[in-house]
Amino acid sequence: MAVVGLGPAGRALAHRLLQAGAEVLVIDPCPERVWRQTLSGWRHQLPGWLDDQVVASTARPVLRTRGTQEIDDPYLVLDNTALHTRLSLAGARVEETRVGPDGFAALTSRAHWVIDARGATPAGRRRRVPMQTAHGVVVPTRAAAGVLAGAEAVLMDWTPFDGSSRWQEPASFLYAVEVAPGRELLEETCLAGEPPLPPAELQRRLHRRLQRYGVPPDAIEGPGATIERVRIPMLPSAADPLPDRVIRFGAAGGQLNPITGYSALASLRDTDTWVNALTRGDPGRLPQRPDPLARTALGAFLQLSPAATVELFDAFARLPTEQQRVVFDGRGAGFPAALFAQWQAMPPAGRLALIAATARSLLTAR
């Protein structure tokens, strides 16, 4: 098996293939680079073969819309160093290089299956896709007391950043999670934009919001402040045809949820299903692109007004946990029903806005 790309998805797959006894070749320009981005997701997605050592923090988050609602499902932040170490590649053959445009065809003569785990935007294939952007700062947890207001974490705070009653165009939300003991990441996030909200605007909103919440300015801008800038493609790159016996995994493929932009925990969760299919020799049936309905939902989201956006997440917070999980998975048998339930939970004006946004998105779909 040849795994191209050693982000969390490729490394997890290569590790589990090795444990299953496969002969594995891994290729990445920086094979031992530890991921720097914050990787978080839902606890229930963490597979049984990974234990708490790879978890930096777990919390039951709140979602703030018109009021504050608790999400009754544990949310976690991964400890990247621990995860990287845990996903040992001992026994793999490692090539420190970048696979070029014709490289996949060549690899099929060296490996029985080739896995494209190059992430959502492999270099050289950038095209315009909706992006998630965010600007964050890591502060001591005590400095974030006003943001948390007693909550363990904040999944989304959709209240306007400047305290006004009108939403900005487009709206952004604050995300707050513990990334290490006593350290809180506070991030102003544009869930999806085409074009996305620029980093400078998100930084301005973050500072204004944190000022309102009473976060001391030196915690935000002092010399020790750690900044995180986020740019996540909400869709994988164009689906160029790949040669036979090459399949996609991770953010390059079907693990990327176009509703959230996230894929890391879904990749870890799906790893063993892929290992089993690869070792059986029938991985072709596994989904290698995001669910079309999730793409449609992203298209509709991009057309929504800020007020309807908030109604959408207010409705999400009131769904039963099982349906919230399905929405965050972005696929599966219950996915259409969960989206329908979310739509039904919106007030009449929000429902109409979502129908109109979906229609506009379908009419303008490229």
Which residues here bind ligand FAD, judged by CB under 6 A?
4-10, 27-30, 37-41, 98-99, 117-119, 122-123, 228, 230-232, 250-252, 262-265, 267
Shortest reach from residue 228's CB to ligand FAD, in Å = 5
Nearer to ligand FAD, 167 or 301 (CB): 301
Shortest approach of ligand FAD to residue 37 CB, angstroms?
3
Residue 203 CB, nearest approach to ligand FAD (Å): 14
Helix (H, G, I), strand (E, B) or coil at 156: strand
Which CB atom, from 160 or from 236, has the smaller least distance to ligand FAD?
A: 236
Collapsed DSSP state (helix, strand, coil) of residue 192: strand
- Cβ-based nearer residue to ligand FAD, 25 or 356: 25
Strand pairing report for 61-64 and 68-70: antiparallel
- 285: three-class secondary structure by DSSP: helix
Give Cα 276 to chain centroid, integer Å.
Answer: 24
**Helix (H), strand (E) counts: the chain:** 12, 15
Number of Cα atoms under 13 Å in the Cβ half of residue 236? 24
User: CA quadruple 47, 14, 330, 247: dihedral positive or negative?
Assistant: negative
Q: Write down the least CB distance from residue 103 to ligand FAD, Å.
A: 7
Choose between 112 and 126: whose C-beta lies nearer to ligand FAD.
Answer: 126
Tell me which residue of 49, 28, 34 sits closest to 93, measured CA to CA.
28
Q: Considering the complex, state which of residue 29 and residue 214 has its C-beta at the smaller distance from ligand FAD.
A: 29
Minimal distance in Å, beta carbon 256 to ligand FAD? Answer: 7
